[in-house]
Every structure is written in structure tokens, then in C-alpha cells.
């Protein structure tokens, strides 16, 4: 019987975070533009001090670096970025797991805090049935950088997982993710797996009865 299978992206399918490489890869085409990253230093300090959350940090970083870019320019870069990422930055074990679920006829959903500049393109290339990610605001044809949706992380990710399960009543659920912040929605899955988690995340997963694996 088909299952509803939900994958995280950063650190689960990919070997690393995707947002900073996406931004830096675009800016380094004109190296002087890398100086824009300095505009994000106050936000990084505020995050480190606990004054803003990861969603606000993401918005401030995007505003500091990519605000004003056109849809056409970003779409062209996204195509290049996604191609490079899928060639060199994904876990082979993740691709095998995705393919096995696809062959089984499972419903595949990519649920990630990554932004909609590139997450839907990754989901499409990997043949997911649906991608739920963090949306961004635009002013006409130009990126604003503020979040248009809640950051799909932590409690918001759990809410999205519950909403998905409600849309597919009767299906068993499976979920793959890599952070301690993901444990809440993993607990709600019938078949959860913590992938490449930190030692602290693995300990918490074990206490919750969630198995762990090291994907390569």
C-alpha cells in the first residue's frame, strides 16, 4: 500500500545547507558583490544572541544580498545552482531512498525551510509530487526578500506535516530529517528516520524511539 513520504532537504538529501551557497554562488560572479554579505553581520549577531529567530535571520540575509534581483536573473541562476547541487552536493543514499519510494508508488513530498527561489526546482528534478517550502515576497518583478510564509521549520514544519497527513487519510506516513528541530514532526510519522543527525540530535531521537542512520 502506498505511503505518504516526507523528506527534509538541507542535511538530509543534501550534504550541507543550501541558502548560503545559493547566495554566495550568485554574488561571486561579480566578486565585489560578496561585500554585501557584510550587511548581514548585524543579523548574525542578533541571531547568536537569541534576539531574532532563524526565519528573521533568513529574511535579513536575503534582503542584504539579493534584494532587487529580477525573476529572470534569479531563475537563470537557479537552473545552474540546482544542476551543480544535484551533480555534487546530494547524498547517494538519499537518492536511493527517494527512488525506492517512487518505485513503491508512494506519495513523495519535499518539506523544507529552504526558500522557493530554488526548493521547488530541486523537488521537480527529483520527481517529488509536491514541495512545501518557505515563500518569499516580491515587488513586481524584483525580489523583496521578506518571508511570504512562515519559515518551514520546527513547529511550522510539524503543522505542515499534520496538514499533509490530513490530506492523505489512511496512508501510513514516513519522514526523513536531520535536525533536533525536526524531531517533533518525526515523532508523528509512522516510520521516522533521523538522518546524519548530530550526537545531541541522535540522543534525543533515541529517547523518543526514533531510529537514526548515517547516509552517504
Fold entry, domain 3-213 = Rossmann fold (3.40.50)
Give the number of other CB atoms < 10 A from CB of residue 139.
Answer: 11
CB-facing half-sphere around the CA of 197: CA atoms within 13 A:
26
Domain boundaries along the sequence of the chain: 3-213
Per-residue pLDDT of the chain (216 residues; tens, 9 = 90+): 899 999 999 999 999 999 999 999 998 877 656 666 677 677 677 778 788 788 898 999 999 999 999 999 999 999 999 999 999 999 999 999 999 999 999 999 999 999 999 999 999 999 999 999 999 999 999 999 999 999 999 999 999 999 999 999 999 999 999 999 999 999 999 999 999 999 999 999 999 999 999 999
**Distance set, CA 88 to CA 15, 59, 92 (Å):** 9, 27, 10
Look up residue 69 and give its DSSP letter.
-
The model's pLDDT over 104-125, given as tens digits with 9 standing for 90+, comes to: 999 999 999 999 999 999 999 9
* CA 136 from centre of chain: 14
- How much is the pLDDT for 25? 92
- If we measure between CA atoms, which residue out of 112, 30, 126 comes closest to residue 82? 126
Q: Check: pTM over 0.75? Answer yes or no.
A: yes
- Helix axis angle, 41-48 relative to 54-66, nearest 10°? 170
Helix (H) or strand (E) holding 132: strand 130-134
| Angle, CA of 100, 177 and 118, to the nearest 5° | 85
**What's the farthest any 2 CA atoms get from each other in the chain?**
54
Spatial contact of 192 and 209, defined as CB atoms under 8 Å apart:
no
Q: What span, in angstroms and rounded, lies between the C-alpha atoms of 36 and 152?
A: 25
Instruction: Decide if 180 contacts 200 (C-beta within 8 A).
Output: yes
Q: Which residues contact 135 (CB under 8 A, 6 or more apart)?
A: 115, 116, 147, 148, 149
pLDDT digit string, tens, across residues 18-40: 999 999 999 887 765 666 667 76
Amino acid at each position: 500500500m502506498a505511503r505518504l513520504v516526507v523528506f527534509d532537504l538541507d542535511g538530509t538529501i543534501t550534504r550541507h545547507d543550501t541558502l548560503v551557497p545559493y547566495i554566495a554562488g550568485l554574488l561571486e560572479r561579480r566578486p565585489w558583490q560578496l561585500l554585501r554579505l557584510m550587511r548581514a553581520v548585524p543579523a548574525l549577531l542578533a541571531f547568536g544572541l537569541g534576539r531574532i529567530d532563524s526565519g528573521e535571520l533568513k529574511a535579513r540575509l536575503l534582503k542584504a544580498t539579493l534584494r532587487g534581483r529580477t525573476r529572470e536573473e534569479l531563475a537563470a541562476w537557479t537552473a545552474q545552482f540546482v544542476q551543480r547541487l544535484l551533480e555534487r552536493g546530494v547524498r547517494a543514499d538519499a537518492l536511493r531512498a527517494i527512488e525506492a519510494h517512487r518505485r513503491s508508488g508512494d506519495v513523495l513530498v519535499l518539506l523544507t525551510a529552504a526558500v522557493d527561489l530554488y526548493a521547488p526546482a530541486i523537488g521537480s528534478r527529483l520527481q517529488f509530487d509536491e514541495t512545501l517550502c518557505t515563500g518569499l515576497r516580491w515587488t513586481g518583478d524584483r525580489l523583496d526578500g521578506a518571508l511570504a510564509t512562515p519559515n518551514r521549520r520546527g513547529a511550522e514544519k510539524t503543522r505542515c506535516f499534520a496538514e499533509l497527513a490530513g490530506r492523505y487519510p489512511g496512508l501510513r506516513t514516513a519522514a526523513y530529517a536531520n535536525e533536533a528541530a525536526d524531531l517533533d514532526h518525526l515523532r508523528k510519522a509512522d516510520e521516522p528516520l533521523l538522518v546524519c543527525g548530530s550526537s545531541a540530535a541522535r540522543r534525543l531521537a533515541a529517547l523518543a524511539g526514533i531510529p537514526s542512520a548515517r547516509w552517504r
